[in-house]
Structure 1
């Protein structure tokens, strides 16, 4: 790959992907996972990721970790330097399985007689070449099984996507992926593959299959993935001064190059762990060389560094710049049918071959391994087999962009025989509040490494507790102990006057009414007796990925917070300032869970405290003052005035750094903002909210009617009352914007 990417953002895997999408437009050819902390996009031919994931115009959350709605990511290179701060941290570049059937027969046109071939091949994750599957595969079947819902089934994961498809090898693939929202089990997506010798040979040219019954004597299953954890820092640290040429930092995915001559580099380390007979499958992952603490050294950087990068990514003036790339990200193998001459323990799921290649740095068969064109246009199938069945680990010096290839085999598959492979896409990150603070105590990388190892153990446990279980016709792959369901909560301003700000956090009794049974049919959680209390959390982070606790309410104190009028619990948050915005969520906790039996009969004791997740977090809300009474005259003022960008005393900071507030307004008013020369910039309409609440303030984000940020300088505002008794009365003032 090279840094000049905008001319080819979709041309390679994206072209194939878009063709598949066009042909199958009437079916559910894509699916997503958004229930846990890790979000992902899938296609129904085995592809994990997104065909447009090269640089910009990325619209799906491929390996977004942690996942959140409303992320920002540039839509064009020429606008990247003017783009709002990039918040998305994408990690999975292009992943999926391959199948090799060695010395196997296929059917040869025009009469479709049987002939032996050196290899039959299917792939889901190369940049080019026929995938070996049809263009009209069955659509995904998606099942949402959210805890707290009336039809929640505790024996199944919360979110499942199922697809199946025939391949050119005569092996049919069933893929079921699944996620949980439960804390400690929400940092991974589990993929359960079953490869069965059905004899249904896929012919893409026909978009159909033909039957050929045979024993496949040498079958190899490969999983191939590209992992990049340096996505956000690239775009928030750097820019290319030659914007008009359409050249910008190589997206989040492409890292950097030291120069256009010779070998450049990227900025990741890799790890391959748990190889050997330890009862655990291999865990591999990448991590950024410095966690995105600061830009790379200028001697290695062909791009320009933003002049204000520290303030650009700093969340509060007294904090360090937020770490941009703090996560470890990769895959862990959890279960595999043992190949010939392998150990019998299916959970000791080590591949027979593992290699790690860095993009543009390493060679195979005297060809540069450039994953922009790595596929059947560059290598023959026999060469791809050689690639998949050799071991290679490059020097690990923190200047890599790693692609991982892991292969299991050989297997012998008689007609009807199957291979099962279970793995998890997985992330691990240090405490996200410390990430936001800028890692003042230098926890990175140790804490992130510890986190991904811990999450890998959780995934291993979930599979050990699930494999062998059946429910609702589903061959279960994973199970986990359920926490209390999260309460539904809201946050509303309840400030009555002009002096004291309040926000009321309200929540229901979902966690108290729930009863959850385990795999033995025993009551594992009964909210009437097992709920121990609630904790309320608050953040000004618009992503809602890190939180500060504000109150712990034990079950014995719940009666103090019951609001009979609202038929909900209510807590008033009082340590606030007007117009600063926050999100909230309410956590239900079970401090001493009972013994739990999983779907396959595993008994787990001493689980430790179980808590609900933050999926029911509120939108951003600000405490706002009540309306002014014009009987006492006008007293409108602007906060801050002057506005000074980046000054904590003269701006609201994150998550609304450009916010300007008009206060002491009547119930209804129109505010018009003009330049000093009299040009109308913006009109604001102030009135009750959607449920009739009245306020005395309205905010402006410094954008014009055209949606553009206004220039710094002096502006005139005119406020006109729309209150019936005082309709048409006006007042005016000035405000200053300094950047």
Structure 2
């Protein structure tokens, strides 16, 4: 164990400069990591990739995205060496990862409306590993709760500016909007020298790639993917009411003796892969001269099984890649009834493409394309409860039972995704700032006591109410606070346990004592502030109150554990569990939980020994099963 910890520390130190270049959206339920260029690197620092629901501050589990990349295809083009190419594709991922010979990172900056609150547990201040107070720039008038601006250059002389917007509003926190501006600057590297001066680009296509897998690092996927996902494109058929988007969802594989759609846990029955992750279109310029949305785009919607995907890495020529972008195919996906199952090699492990073009872009001009990423799903509480009933053979839903009921419940995640996509479209059409904003999230102080947990929240040093009015109207619409709690693990579902102010009937305060606790049990909390809804008149839900972020002030490094006061005698001492068996993977849990030891928080709760009823001073001796001290 000592060697493993030392190696981990060295690894962490080695990646420090790199981590500073990576930014994260962690303000809502949908988490994502933004790398310095448009694709995921081949190394694996801590990151979240469409993690849903978010909340894993250590390793960002429940990822729904595996890879992404952007291809830029051009015709009749000369590179910086003067070499003419009839067709050329600047392959910015994903098979060539960060493509250092193609892409040049320039900047990656995160802006926030509010810095992360301070969270203190029993005098210890928590520190986040991925997102933290020093990794962002505060802008009080920011149009969204979080904005990340990433700039990189490509070897065809197009500079890419990617602006992503994320929201804390609970009705808008399951999608992220991505605005791309492709400008023909002629600059192919980080220097100020223009290597391709006065070039006019012709026949330009922009292709956006995604590899999506529901909850790909939880459950069965953790030990190696089964690749049993269906993919579907909505928006290019008569009667489709949304602009257009790809999504994937879990199917049934052939390895199990039962229908494993949704990947039910073999231990608890919880549906581990209920997500419907997707990405799609919000806007595409008609030309560099016309910013009106071109409803004839995207020109190509297609997918390939992983074994058939094209790349320079595989030796494929530029013409083949260019044809992929410009084919004009309008695929509907793999779930059209033409294949027996998602494991069919003709469709297995789908690589999704949305391409736009062709554009002619003179030197100094640009084209804008706007996408979104979103995830729909049943709530995790339902995934746990329905999964438990399914495993016990008791699941019934809308007249259905067993697997049919399970699959019908999971399919409601698709309905949720459609609703989320509609909200993303509404936001882009009405303006990013049109999403109503809740009050600031407070700093949180948590203290364990005998038979209780004490919570206190504040702003700044000692303010007990938010210091700023509604950011859109300038009106003070603050109403009250809500307290949420999870038990045993910060990854477990939270529930509302108390609220004050507003119409709650409880006087406004900034303190709460939780006495509904058990000695030795771990508790995790967060506190939100909510408004009265009076300033939320120009939204999809006029007059509805809005809360602050549900993720801003959670404790996760340190649990709050109530205790009993010191005993005066030795009559009631308990050792729990006794005897003790250090739990391995075969007894439940995940690889990360069982084999990644954190020197700060120590072992997970089920791997700890608890001593109850000790006096103020005591000597404890622990023996092995062989009687060795």
TM-score, normalising length: structure 2:
0.75
Task: Give the aligned partner of residue 286 of structure 1.
Answer: 248
Written as runs of structure 1 = structure 2, the 5 A alignment for 1:689-708 is none
Q: Is the 8 A contact 1:339 1:408 kept in 2?
A: no
Deviation, 1:222, is 1.0
1:623 to 549, 562, 568: 562
1:548 to 472, 485, 495: 495
The RMSD of aligned alpha carbons is: 4.0
Deviation, 1:666, is 2.0
- Quick check: 607-616 or 387-396, which moved more? 387-396
Cα distance change of structure 1 residues 665 and 162 upon mapping to structure 2, 3 Å threshold? same
- Structure 1 Cα separation of the partners of residues 456 and 296 of structure 2: 47
Deviations 1:37-70 (Å, cap 9, x if unpaired)? Answer: 33333332322x34246xxxx7432332223345
- Structure 2 Cα separation of the partners of residues 31 and 288 of structure 1: 29
1:422 to 364, 370, 384: 370
Q: Does 2:524 align with 1:583?
A: yes
Q: Is the 8 A contact 2:92 2:98 kept in 1?
A: no
Q: Does 2:274 align with 1:274?
A: no
Q: Which runs of 5+ in 2 are unaligned?
A: 1-13, 118-136, 336-340, 390-396, 398-405, 594-603
Cα distance change of structure 1 residues 309 and 171 upon mapping to structure 2, 3 Å threshold? closer
Q: Which runs of 5+ in 1 are unaligned?
A: 1-20, 73-86, 239-248, 257-265, 315-320, 361-367, 467-476, 496-500, 563-568, 598-602, 681-739
Structure ranking higher in strand proportion: 1
Q: Is the 8 A contact 2:111 2:138 kept in 1?
A: no
Query: Secondary structure of the residue that 1:335 maps to in structure 2?
Result: strand
Task: Give the aligned partner of residue 705 of structure 1.
Answer: none
Q: Is the 8 A contact 1:335 1:347 kept in 2?
A: yes
Query: Secondary structure of the residue that 2:76 maps to in structure 1?
Result: strand
Q: Does 2:246 align with 1:310?
A: no
Deviation, 1:121, is 2.6
Deviation, 1:436, is 2.8
Task: Give the aligned partner of residue 148 of structure 2.
Answer: 161
Q: Is the 8 A contact 1:123 1:131 kept in 2?
A: yes
Query: Secondary structure of the residue that 2:24 maps to in structure 1?
Result: strand
Q: Does 2:628 align with 1:679?
A: yes
Q: Does 2:548 align with 1:612?
A: yes
Q: Does 2:426 align with 1:461?
A: yes
Deviations 1:112-156 (Å, cap 9, x if unpaired)? Answer: 4xx642123322223139948666532323323327889652433
Task: Give the aligned partner of residue 410 of structure 1.
Answer: 358
Task: Give the aligned partner of residue 709 of structure 1.
Answer: none
Task: Give the aligned partner of residue 326 of structure 2.
Answer: 389
Deviation, 1:511, is 7.8
Bigger RCO of structures 1 and 2 (CA < 8 A, at least 6 apart): 2
Q: Does 2:51 align with 1:51?
A: no
Q: Is the 8 A contact 1:357 1:393 kept in 2?
A: no
Query: Secondary structure of the residue that 1:657 maps to in structure 2?
Result: helix
Cα distance change of structure 1 residues 625 and 295 upon mapping to structure 2, 3 Å threshold? farther
Cα distance change of structure 1 residues 430 and 183 upon mapping to structure 2, 3 Å threshold? same
Deviation, 1:674, is 0.9
Deviation, 1:172, is 1.8
Q: Is the 8 A contact 1:136 1:207 kept in 2?
A: no
Query: Secondary structure of the residue that 1:461 maps to in structure 2?
Result: helix
2:416 to 451, 470, 473: 451
In the alignment of these two chains, the number of paired residues is 542
Task: Give the aligned partner of residue 262 of structure 1.
Answer: none
Which of structures 1 and 2 has the bigger CA Rg?
A: 1
- Structure 2 Cα separation of the partners of residues 557 and 605 of structure 1: 20
- Quick check: 395-404 or 140-149, which moved more? 140-149
- Structure 2 Cα separation of the partners of residues 347 and 552 of structure 1: 47
- Structure 2 Cα separation of the partners of residues 175 and 126 of structure 1: 17
Task: Give the aligned partner of residue 486 of structure 1.
Answer: 441
Q: Is the 8 A contact 1:228 1:402 kept in 2?
A: no
Cα distance change of structure 1 residues 577 and 335 upon mapping to structure 2, 3 Å threshold? same
- Quick check: 178-187 or 146-155, which moved more? 146-155
Query: Secondary structure of the residue that 1:448 maps to in structure 2?
Result: helix
- Structure 2 Cα separation of the partners of residues 549 and 203 of structure 1: 51
1:139 to 107, 117, 127: 107
Cα distance change of structure 1 residues 340 and 352 upon mapping to structure 2, 3 Å threshold? farther
2:170 to 163, 183, 192: 183
Cα distance change of structure 1 residues 595 and 613 upon mapping to structure 2, 3 Å threshold? closer
Query: Secondary structure of the residue that 2:75 maps to in structure 1?
Result: strand
Q: Is the 8 A contact 1:132 1:167 kept in 2?
A: no
Task: Give the aligned partner of residue 244 of structure 1.
Answer: none
- Structure 2 Cα separation of the partners of residues 172 and 158 of structure 1: 26
Task: Give the aligned partner of residue 89 of structure 1.
Answer: 62
- Structure 1 Cα separation of the partners of residues 92 and 617 of structure 2: 58
TM-score, normalising length: structure 1:
0.65
Q: Is the 8 A contact 1:68 1:545 kept in 2?
A: no
Cα distance change of structure 1 residues 518 and 29 upon mapping to structure 2, 3 Å threshold? closer
- Structure 2 Cα separation of the partners of residues 411 and 163 of structure 1: 23
Task: Give the aligned partner of residue 687 of structure 1.
Answer: none
Cα distance change of structure 1 residues 152 and 625 upon mapping to structure 2, 3 Å threshold? farther
Query: Secondary structure of the residue that 2:195 maps to in structure 1?
Result: strand
Cα distance change of structure 1 residues 589 and 309 upon mapping to structure 2, 3 Å threshold? closer
Q: Does 2:195 align with 1:210?
A: yes
- Structure 2 Cα separation of the partners of residues 434 and 645 of structure 1: 31
Cα distance change of structure 1 residues 515 and 340 upon mapping to structure 2, 3 Å threshold? closer
